[in-house]
Structure 1
């Protein structure tokens, strides 16, 4: 009565070394399926080189050509397939009459370890957790005066196997390898249901919040974001709308500079505004730019004819092309703090791999992290995930100078954007 899982998702290696892998998803459609697929691909450290999306509202067919962002990241292709299959609705006929059961929240575990501090430690641990498919829900990192680090990671397991001794043993082994002889203790336990693993609200001053979450670029913000070299390219971002080519769909033609997670950002924005894709063509990047054609409908299956709604959706898409991740350096008392923020999906999920990429950027810059936190903040009628890093001033940068801060912001943001 249905299609086997092996036919629902297929992943094929490229014909030649270096060629993209081909991911094909062929299953019943559901709201947000494209977003789930793109989030998972981004979470596995993959870049979408091109793709095609087609659906009639009941069945969808998606083909994506992907390549790893980095040769140092080991992609678990079989695990990727299993994760994608888990998002696909049942192929039985009952799917059309029975809504899927609500998803259960994953158990939250507390990973606690103490070790001697060293440069790049936080990234190395984060990289291992990403490879193990362990999601970082929240983190608390503290450095003591005697150069010891106490790290608290609140994590969930994408494989839902962290309760087993085998899975815990794998995590311990990988962590001990990266921590080495500097490891003093390492513990993993189930977090209390009322514990602070819940998303904590960040306390940010109004002035910093206004600058970090601004809905439009300002001259001051451009300076602080250290993007002057990229502004000419970024200003070319455009969304053209055409209602004349299809009697039942609105065509959105998107032209912008490519960045890591661009397709995810587009899918997230459309999902948050109850807009669905009936057909989409994602060509390869040309001279650093993307030209994407999307035939869209509203949730009720009609074209987007309201000029105000059309303008609002276009504005939101442009903002995601220009400014999907916010990066800022501020003073936090006598200390220097790096802030990284990204919008949270309407489902409550944050953007994948932000903590991983931010810590990698700081490691490459040779800047040690004195403490780190992840929290949530509400601004501009939406929720944001905020990553906060107190920077150790014992580095080659004079953190009190504007030029040094701009260089750090620029390097961090470029790595986050995949430039």
Structure 2
């Protein structure tokens, strides 16, 4: 590693001592690549390491976290999203370099864009109105993420001026945008909790969404639409002999699950000293030994219940509900507003969205349900696809409740093809997980 020239030798020594040491083992496990990180402990470094792995689209199958005094050792068993070991040397080198720099906690921001944060009450057509306002103000949405949970919505939107291509810095235009969006978000009865703000710096988009939802206290609210029946089971007990609080989580496995849980511990000012994470088929079992930053365990029943509620909320915010639709089309002015308007006119509610634009191409992911959270009618989905374009908008994943074939651009063979489409990438991960059980039994 190259050190900045302004550091003296003593400072370099201290930085070498605190720089994580990363070891990659591809021989010891038949189904996964093992990553070992050894470093001095500092608050948030576990989250930074997990963040690196999830940003690289790695699936964490197992993990062991152990702390000894001021040092810790984290071991992650990972695959790619298709369940394969990591064999590309360039990829392994990039992972090693990324993990070795987590100590410095560099902020992640998108240069040349204006970051807009929105929170409010979720409702049918809300995003259509939001993106219509931005389109009318000649704002080009380059990147955005939208989460909904318990009737609340949080969104982080990256914009630039549609005409100049520059960040939006005109204070008068920003004031008009703020006023119009606040009116949209508050609707008829959400005057107090609707919030809009321009973020000067964003550390990490998905972590920021967790923080926005947490600040909005979504974990205390009741859902206004139907939610998944597969709710996580969370328990908290105190291990008084060692002054730890032990948190156990049993839930459905999915990508970025560990990131969401560790985000919650970090932002609630808890330190994870030991942990074991294990996945089997499509289930995940997580156990954490935690303390407050001052070294004390959870002190009251009320605090235990708050931890349980917050962890459940963090897990369910990203839980995929409804039909997954993927839009790939040439970007143009008003495209996003038109797509959202089509969803609204057909009674579709967007429960989660990931929006990005690369080299003039819009690549967007939407999860949609009907107005009360049930899977949308297949005829409505096909009608929406006809309007937007069959080649532009495709169905990628269906809820398990679907038991009929949905017409696709690519032919399927019998009910088996439809079932594979319904399960999507989760089935592939589960098949590889079965091999994982044999490897570690």
Q: Using structure 1 for the length normalisation, give the TM-score.
A: 0.52
For 1:268 and 1:67, locate their aligned partners in 2 and report how far apart those are by CA, in whole Å. 21
- Other-structure match for 2:251: 256
State the Cα distance separating 1:359 from its structure 2 match.
5.0
- Other-structure match for 1:69: 81
CA deviations on 1:114-154 (whole Å, 9 max, x unpaired) are: xxxxxxxxxxxxxxxxxxxxxxxxxx899x9xxxxx97636
Query: Are residues 1:395 and 2:385 paired?
Result: yes
CA deviations on 1:1-44 (whole Å, 9 max, x unpaired) are: 45859983425252289621111111111111111111221111
For 2:79 and 2:140, locate their aligned partners in 1 and report how far apart those are by CA, in whole Å. 32
The number of equivalent residue pairs is 288
Contact kept in structure 2, 1:257 and 1:288, CA below 8 Å: yes
Alignment partner for residue 271 of structure 2, among 264, 271, 276?
Answer: 276
State the Cα distance separating 1:338 from its structure 2 match.
5.3
- Other-structure match for 1:375: none
> Gaps spanning 5+ residues in structure 2: where?
1-12, 115-130, 145-162, 194-212, 324-339, 357-361, 369-380, 389-394, 403-420, 431-441
For 2:270 and 2:107, locate their aligned partners in 1 and report how far apart those are by CA, in whole Å. 26
- Other-structure match for 2:99: 84
SS of match in other structure, 1:280: strand
CA RMSD of aligned residues (A): 5.4
CA deviations on 1:51-104 (whole Å, 9 max, x unpaired) are: 111224522211111111148998833222222222126xxxxxxxxxx9xx56
CA deviations on 1:389-412 (whole Å, 9 max, x unpaired) are: xx99552699xxxxx9x9689899
Alignment partner for residue 52 of structure 1, among 48, 64, 72?
Answer: 64
Q: Residues 185-196 of structure 1: matches in 2 within 5 Å?
A: 191=167
> Gaps spanning 5+ residues in structure 1: where?
90-99, 112-139, 145-149, 156-186, 343-353, 366-390, 399-403
For 1:11 and 1:257, locate their aligned partners in 2 and report how far apart those are by CA, in whole Å. 29
Contact kept in structure 1, 2:19 and 2:103, CA below 8 Å: no
Contact kept in structure 2, 1:47 and 1:68, CA below 8 Å: yes
SS of match in other structure, 1:221: coil
State the Cα distance separating 1:259 from its structure 2 match.
1.7
- Other-structure match for 2:20: 8
SS of match in other structure, 2:385: coil
Contact kept in structure 1, 2:346 and 2:384, CA below 8 Å: no
Contact kept in structure 2, 1:328 and 1:409, CA below 8 Å: no
Cα 1:16/1:298, change in 2 over 3 Å: closer
Cα 1:292/1:407, change in 2 over 3 Å: closer
For 1:51 and 1:65, locate their aligned partners in 2 and report how far apart those are by CA, in whole Å. 6
- Other-structure match for 1:168: none
Contact kept in structure 1, 2:60 and 2:78, CA below 8 Å: yes
Q: Residues 126-145 of structure 1: matches in 2 within 5 Å?
A: none
